[in-house]
DNA sequence: ATGGCCTGCAACGCAGGA
């Protein structure tokens, strides 16, 4: 089984890239973030014509998540239960016996922003819910844009990013809290080349200079981690014309 | 050099991203 996550920064703009990527890589499930589309404007016909189903939770202008899958997505869950949030950032469903949870973690803007407090509270609620989900679903994958670079090796210039949003210690602690709940960072299950990132700023020729951060992740329950045979970032779409600023992250799970 | 770019909205520059 191949599962993947991709922050597309507007599905409207990126639909051609998504369709091309589906055709090339044929994932069993692809989690999307920042669709920036109301549900009524979701391009379901195009997705279905590509051989995929879709469930989605969107809003105008901001946020928005979706799960594309070849087989049906069962028992969909929208948002974190008991956590009131206008922002469409969470979508979960069971695909081929795997509980797939697609998340778009708040950015936080800066550590002295109100949005940073919202981010930390959001992560706390996510972690509490995740523990319950793990108890219900031993085969669980948490995929998405976490907006956290877990370690200095996930940052092109750790010194300049030290203490900044996406890299601050409370955020990294929240990330470790998810691991402590029983999840593994699929990317770090394997030897990886240095300087692998999943996001590069649109400015400063950041992609060409590989000035990036690894903030998009696939976390796996123990059962799935044991069956995981590979995890990588696909930089390909980031080099296309009019790209998303994020690249897809892909994991292979054995039977 | 502390900004540069991209998206959506509905502007006639803004908010937000990261």
Reported pTM: 0.97
**Looking at the DSSP assignment, which residues form a beta bridge with residue A220?**
A141, A184
pLDDT tens readout for residues A156-215: 999 999 999 999 999 999 999 999 999 999 999 999 999 999 999 999 999 999 999 999
Pairwise CA distance, residues A24 & A51, whole Å: 13
Strand B nucleotides, any atom under 7 Å to a protein CB = 4-9, 16-18
A140 and A182 Cβ atoms separated by less than 8 Å: no
Protein CA A156 to sugar C1' B1 (Å): 20
* Known active-site residue A104: yes
Alpha helix positions (H), A50-112: none
Residue A56 burial class via C-beta count within 10 angstroms: exposed 0-12, middle 13-18, buried 19 and up: buried
pLDDT tens readout for residues A106-115: 999 999 999 9
Smallest CA–C1' separation from A107, nucleotide? B18
* Known active-site residue A145: yes
Pairwise CA distance, residues A224 & A242, whole Å: 34
Residue A221 half-sphere exposure, CB side, CA atoms within 13 Å? 18
């Amino acid at each position: 089984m191949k599962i993947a996550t991709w922050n597309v920064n507007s599905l409207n703009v990126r639909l051609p890239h998504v369709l091309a990527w589906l055709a090339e890589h044929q994932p069993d499930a692809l989690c999307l973030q920042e669709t920036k589309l109301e549900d009524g404007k979701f391009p379901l016909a195009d997705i279905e014509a590509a051989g995929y189903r879709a469930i989605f939770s969107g809003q105008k202008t901001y946020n928005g998540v979706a799960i594309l899958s070849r087989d049906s997505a069962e028992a969909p869950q929208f948002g974190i239960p008991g956590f009131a949030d206008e922002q469409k950032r969470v979508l979960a469903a069971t695909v081929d016996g795997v509980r797939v949870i697609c998340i778009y973690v708040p950015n936080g803007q800066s550590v002295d922003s109100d949005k940073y407090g919202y981010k930390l509270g959001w992560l706390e609620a996510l972690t509490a819910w995740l523990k319950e989900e793990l108890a219900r679903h031993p085969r669980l994958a948490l995929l998405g844009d976490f907006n956290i670079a877990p370690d200095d090796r996930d940052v092109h210039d750790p010194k300049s990013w030290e203490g900044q949003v996406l890299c601050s210690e409370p955020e990294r602690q929240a990330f470790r809290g998810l691991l402590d709940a029983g999840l593994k960072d699929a990317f770090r299950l394997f030897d990886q080349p240095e300087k692998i990132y999943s996001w590069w700023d649109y400015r400063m020729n950041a992609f060409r200079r590989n000035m990036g951060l690894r903030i998009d992740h696939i976390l796996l329950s123990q059962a799935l981690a044991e069956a995981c045979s590979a995890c990588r970032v696909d930089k390909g779409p980031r080099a296309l014309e009019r790209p998303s600023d994020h690249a897809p992250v892909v994991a292979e799970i054995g039977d």
